[in-house]
Chain A
Amino acid sequence: EPEVTQTPSHQVTQMGQEVILRCVPISNHLYFYWYRQILGQKVEFLVSFYNNEISEKSEIFDDQFSVERPDGSNFTLKIRSTKLEDSAMYFCASSEARQQETQYFGPGTRLLVL
């Protein structure tokens, strides 16, 4: 069964450094999403992406965040200058269509900012 994959599974970085989290969505899916989950808190929406542009973003998704689909398979989340509060689990998700479709989640990347 096709699934969303994410790399790396864990990332440790120093505050102020840039990190890139990578995701490979399910191959026939067209809509891509990033969510994050700070330890002990609920999962929060960050951004959605379709047709090579952002379709929706939350208040959390400020100028330090960016997303990109650099090729036909990868979908990346870049955090330019990490802060301590960026430490969280980051989930990528994809769906075949926008409406009426379930979003399928990857296993997550655990980011720790020191």
Chain B
Amino acid sequence: AQTVTQSQPEMSVQEAETVTLSCTYDTSESDYYLFWYKQPPSRQMILVIRQEAYKQQNATENRFSVNFQKAAKSFSLKISDSQLGDAAMYFCAYRSPNRDDKIIFGKGTRLHILP
């Protein structure tokens, strides 16, 4: 069964600095999708970024980028120029395209932004 591990329960970063959130996963599949979701205090789950495993190029969305290392099964999220609004719980997630409808989530990393 696939698993997603986020080893950093909490992190803090100074406003305007860069922070990297770690995620590793375990799967025997060669094709899959990886996501980072953000959950602010309002509790809504917001998609931050998505990566298809067959793409070698790392996904980027404005200040958010990933470092996808398929062989190492690692999928870290980098947030550049951190802003106060980035404070949230961040969930790494996995989805198999071949079977299963479900998304498998990690336990999350709570990110604090220090003014």
B residues apposed to A, CB below 8 Å: 33, 35, 37, 42-47, 50, 52, 91, 95, 97-98, 100-108
- B-contacting residues, A12-66, CB 8 Å: 31, 33, 35, 41-45, 48, 55-56, 58
Shortest B99–chain A CB gap in Å is 9
A75 within 8 A of B: no
A58 touches B102 (CB 8 A): yes
What is the total number of residues of chain A having a CB less than 8 Å from a CB of chain B? 26
Name which residue of chain B comes closest to A58, CB basis: B102
Name which residue of chain A comes closest to B35, CB basis: A102
Shortest A91–chain B CB gap in Å is 6
Q: Which residues of B contact A45 (CB under 8 A)?
A: 101-104
A42 touches B108 (CB 8 A): yes
B45 touches A108 (CB 8 A): yes
A31 touches B101 (CB 8 A): yes
Q: Which residues of B contact A33 (CB under 8 A)?
A: 101-102
Q: Which residues of B contact A91 (CB under 8 A)?
A: 45
Given A56-B100, A100-B33, A102-B50; A42-B42 close (CB under 8 Å): no
Q: Which residues of B contact A93 (CB under 8 A)?
A: 45
Q: Which residues of A contact B108 (CB under 8 A)?
A: 42
Shortest A69–chain B CB gap in Å is 16
A107 touches B101 (CB 8 A): no
In the docked arrangement, what's the CA distance between A58 and B35, Å? 21
